């Protein structure tokens, strides 16, 4: 068997290159009234390419009055929020995940506030603070999230938009960024492109930089990149196994893993048969048709010798560049570029007609080739077959009747009016991916995506494991392998035994298998607890594809939504159906907050958030006039005493205590299952909580 280079990590697939630094505290979006940003601190820890980002901002209420605010953060689409907390009156409070979508309305309206909308981007995170903030007081907000930094041909890019000038042009007291990288591949270079760092270093396995800026505007993005050796690829593993009693979100096993499979740089590239389907209907007018021309031209200019290609464009009618696929050479390249320049936007949207023209071109193709369609549209079908099931059945019929093999159809929806259910299902049924873009993202996303799939080296990829201890593996089916890119596989295990992992598929019409021996972690590794959240995000992404195949009001869609909500809350990872809330907050000052009784919590005692990442509150109700100290003892899953806390009781009321996840000596305890015992006046209450 050949040896194929493999990396093992837990990651999220990303077509975006952005990490975000600063949120905004909004009092009134319509009048652009925001709290003043005083300080910004970004702490980035990267394991190979997995970035754990802690972004902390301190704001001043300089609005002249006590007020409520909404916090908004320009989170990237593929990033996963895993923790949010705020500091008011000298005390930290943690947000909890709730089973309701984000409230995306802005205080005071603000739908015409172009600067704010541009700053927040397409997928902002919103959080409503329940506490009114006194005038001239400070509010500190900390958001933690994970994201995979984009990887392309051994280079990893880091871009952190620290340009806050759309919100605040004045001085920011302090700006800090710390970047620390640990890599199991040799680090050959690191550069902080945008700034002159206070310090910067890189060696074989570690790298980093730091920067502090004082009394200056926040008007420059942080940009850096690092390079990993193409000669040092190997098998690396990030996995963790939670203890038997430490986890009860599901029954898939307490182990979490991910494999990243990367082809050897010397792997031979499989020739492509490629068709680009371009929507040129009337709704594509303006900047969208210009982007379409530019994206199509980029692809034509980057085909490989030996590739065959065609272009199909559609509105009410359907046209094509060639009657059949033609080999790429200087002549066909020139013909294609001239053809693309003539695209004009007008007419209806005949999606079924476009596929009627495109798919027969692949009839009975050589199985040694990679057959690829990239399809993008900005609207619903308004000509030809117009219903979703009809179009899906039509595509399936065309593939079968023309005996098309190894076809991938990748779909891209542009703007707010695409049929997401249709595009998601076309891709999922035909080994492709689906992406939904803003009006101005087409050229960038299409060109980046094409670069990633340009050079296939293994198609129809499958993974087998001996013994079969792995489960809940995503993506399903697996993606093909491409030169300079990575196949990412996440999953679960319930037994930490040595396993043999085989990746098999076709290369030039011949079966090919690559086999590796892997040792899965047999214990909980505290620094790898983010792996649980990355798996949850990938699981929810897979369920969202399935969700879009049903009517949102159908029983099937409602069941999928309920499952996504359960995963989101239990793993504390945001989803389209959940949001952060202020938890037990609600008073107007810290003192009022501390005395406030949260009427939404009816249980006599509870821990929240549960599961938690950093901090958990233990809350209990006292229904008698007791004036003594209550003790709260915390035990681990084996019954060992971890910590003892006390709180003074002052009669009837609701009391709560913050446990910051440390033992009696102040050391952080590992992720796991913990028990709290509350005792006072012959009363004893017991509950459990999970630290992730």
Domain ranges of the chain: 24-149+155-228, 236-264+458-547, 272-454, 599-691
β-pairing, 616-622 vs 605-608, is antiparallel
Go through 611-648 and write b for each residue having 16 or more CB atoms within 10 A of its CB, e for each that does not: bbbbbbbbbbbbeeebeeebebebbbeeeeebbebebe
pLDDT of residue 181: 92
Say yes or no: do domains 24-149+155-228 and 236-264+458-547 share a fold.
yes
Confidence band for 449, pLDDT divided at 50, 70 and 90: confident
Return mean pLDDT, the chain: 83
In the CATH scheme, what is the code of domain 24-149+155-228?
2.60.40.3680
- Regarding the domain delimited by 599-691, which CATH topology (the fold level of the hierarchy) does it fall under? Immunoglobulin-like (2.60.40)
> Distance (Å, rounded) from C-alpha 453 to C-alpha 118?
30
For residue 643, is pLDDT > 90?
A: no
Confidence band for 14, pLDDT divided at 50, 70 and 90: very low
Confidence band for 364, pLDDT divided at 50, 70 and 90: confident
Average pLDDT over residues 601-610: 71
Go through 365-391 and write b for each residue having 16 or more CB atoms within 10 A of its CB, e for each that does not: beeebbbbbbbbbbbebbbbbbebeeb
> Distance (Å, rounded) from C-alpha 692 to C-alpha 676?
16
For residue 596, is pLDDT > 80?
A: no
In the CATH scheme, what is the code of domain 272-454?
3.40.50.410
pLDDT of residue 233: 61
pLDDT of residue 226: 94
> Distance (Å, rounded) from C-alpha 476 to C-alpha 251?
19
Residue 65 in contact with residue 135, Cβ under 8 Å?
yes
pLDDT of residue 597: 29
pLDDT of residue 177: 94
Q: What is the pTM of this model?
A: 0.63
| Number of Cβ within a 10 Å radius of residue 307 | 21
Query: What share of the chain has pLDDT > 70, as a percent?
Result: 87
Q: Could you please report the per-residue DSSP string of 473-520?
A: EESSSPPPEETT--EEEEEEESS--EEEEEEEEEETTEEEEEEEEEE-
| Number of Cβ within a 10 Å radius of residue 331 | 10
For residue 399, is pLDDT > 50?
A: yes
| Number of Cβ within a 10 Å radius of residue 46 | 22
Q: What is the pLDDT of residues 534-565, one digit of tens each?
A: 899 889 988 988 888 888 889 999 999 999 99
At 602, is the secondary structure helix, strand, or coil? coil
Structure tokens of 59? 């704001």
Residue 443 in contact with residue 414, Cβ under 8 Å?
no
The residue length of the chain stands at: 692
Kindly state the DSSP code that residue 132 receives in the 8-state scheme: P
At 393, is the secondary structure helix, strand, or coil? helix
- Regarding the domain delimited by 236-264+458-547, which CATH topology (the fold level of the hierarchy) does it fall under? Immunoglobulin-like (2.60.40)
């Amino acid at each position: 068997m050949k040896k194929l280079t493999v990396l093992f990590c837990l990651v999220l697939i990303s077509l975006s290159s952005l990490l975000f630094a600063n949120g905004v505290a909004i009092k009134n979006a319509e009048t652009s009234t925001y709290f003043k940003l005083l300080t910004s601190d970004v702490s980035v820890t990267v394991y190979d390419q997995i970035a754990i980002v802690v972004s902390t901002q301190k704001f001043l209420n300089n609005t002249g009055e006590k007020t409520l605010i909404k916090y908004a953060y320009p989170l990237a689409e593929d990033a996963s929020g895993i923790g949010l907390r705020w500091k008011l009156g000298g005390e930290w409070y943690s947000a909890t995940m709730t089973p309701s979508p984000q409230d995306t309305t802005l205080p005071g309206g603000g739908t015409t506030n172009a600067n704010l909308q541009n700053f927040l981007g397409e997928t902002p995170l919103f959080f409503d603070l329940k506490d009114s903030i006194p005038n001239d007081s400070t509010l500190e907000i900390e958001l933690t999230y994970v994201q995979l930094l984009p990887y392309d041909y051994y280079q990893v890019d880091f871009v952190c938009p620290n340009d806050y000038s759309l919100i605040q042009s004045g001085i920011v007291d302090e700006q800090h960024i710390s970047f620390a990288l640990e890599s199991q591949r040799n680090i050959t270079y690191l550069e902080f492109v945008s700034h002159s760092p206070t310090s910067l270093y890189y060696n074989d396995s570690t790298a980093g930089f730091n920067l502090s800026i004082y009394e200056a505007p926040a008007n420059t993005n942080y940009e850096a990149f690092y390079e990993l050796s193409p000669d040092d690829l190997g098998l690396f593993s990030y996995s963790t196994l939670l203890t038997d009693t430490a986890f009860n979100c599901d029954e898939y096993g307490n182990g979490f893993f991910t494999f990243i499979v990367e082809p050897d740089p010397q792997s031979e590239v499989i020739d492509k048969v490629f068709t680009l389907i371009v929507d040129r209907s009337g709704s594509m007018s303006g900047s969208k048709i210009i982007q379409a021309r530019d994206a199509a031209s980029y692809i034509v200019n980057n085909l490989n010798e030996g590739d065959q290609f065609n272009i199909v464009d559609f509105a009410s009618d359907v046209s094509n560049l060639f009657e059949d696929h033609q080999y790429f050479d200087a002549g066909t390249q020139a013909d294609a570029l001239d053809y693309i320049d003539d695209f004009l936007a007008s007419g209806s949207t005949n999606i079924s007609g476009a596929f009627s023209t495109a798919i027969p071109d692949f009839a009975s193709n050589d199985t040694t080739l990679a057959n690829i369609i990239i399809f993008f549209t900005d609207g619903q079908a308004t000509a030809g077959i117009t219903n979703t099931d009809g179009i899906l059945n039509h595509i399936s019929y065309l593939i079968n009747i023309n005996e098309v093999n190894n076809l991938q159809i990748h779909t891209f929806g542009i703007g707010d009016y695409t049929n997401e259910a249709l595009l998601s299902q076309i891709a999922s049924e035909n080994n492709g991916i689906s992406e939904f873009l803003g009006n101005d993202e087409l050229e960038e996303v299409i060109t980046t995506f094409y670069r990633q799939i340009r050079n296939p080296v293994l198609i129809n990829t499958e993974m087998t494991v001996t013994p079969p201890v792995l489960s809940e593996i995503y993506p399903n089916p697996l993606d093909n392998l491409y030169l300079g890119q990575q196949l990412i596989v996440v999953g679960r295990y319930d037994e930490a035994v040595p396993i043999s992992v085989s990746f098999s598929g076709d290369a030039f019409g011949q079966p090919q298998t690559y086999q590796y021996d892997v040792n899965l972690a047999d214990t909980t590794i505290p620094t790898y607890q983010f792996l649980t959240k990355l798996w949850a995000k990938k699981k929810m992404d897979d369920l969202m594809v399935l969700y879009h195949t049903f009517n949102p009001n159908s029983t099937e869609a409602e069941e999928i939504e309920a499952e996504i909500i359960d995963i989101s809350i239990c793993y504390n990872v945001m989803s389209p159906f959940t949001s952060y809330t202020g938890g037990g907050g609600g008073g107007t000052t810290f003192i009022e907050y501390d005395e406030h009784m949260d009427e939404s919590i009816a249980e006599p005692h509870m821990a929240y958030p549960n599961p938690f990442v950093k901090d958990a509150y233990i809350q209990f109700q006292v229904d008698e006039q007791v004036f003594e100290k209550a003790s709260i003892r915390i035990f681990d899953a084996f019954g060992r005493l971890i910590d003892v806390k006390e709180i003074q009781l002052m009669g009837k009321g609701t009391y709560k205590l913050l446990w910051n996840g440390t033992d009696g000596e102040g050391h952080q305890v590992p992720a796991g299952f913990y028990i709290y015992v509350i005792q006072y006046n012959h009363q004893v209450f017991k509950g459990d909580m999970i630290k992730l």
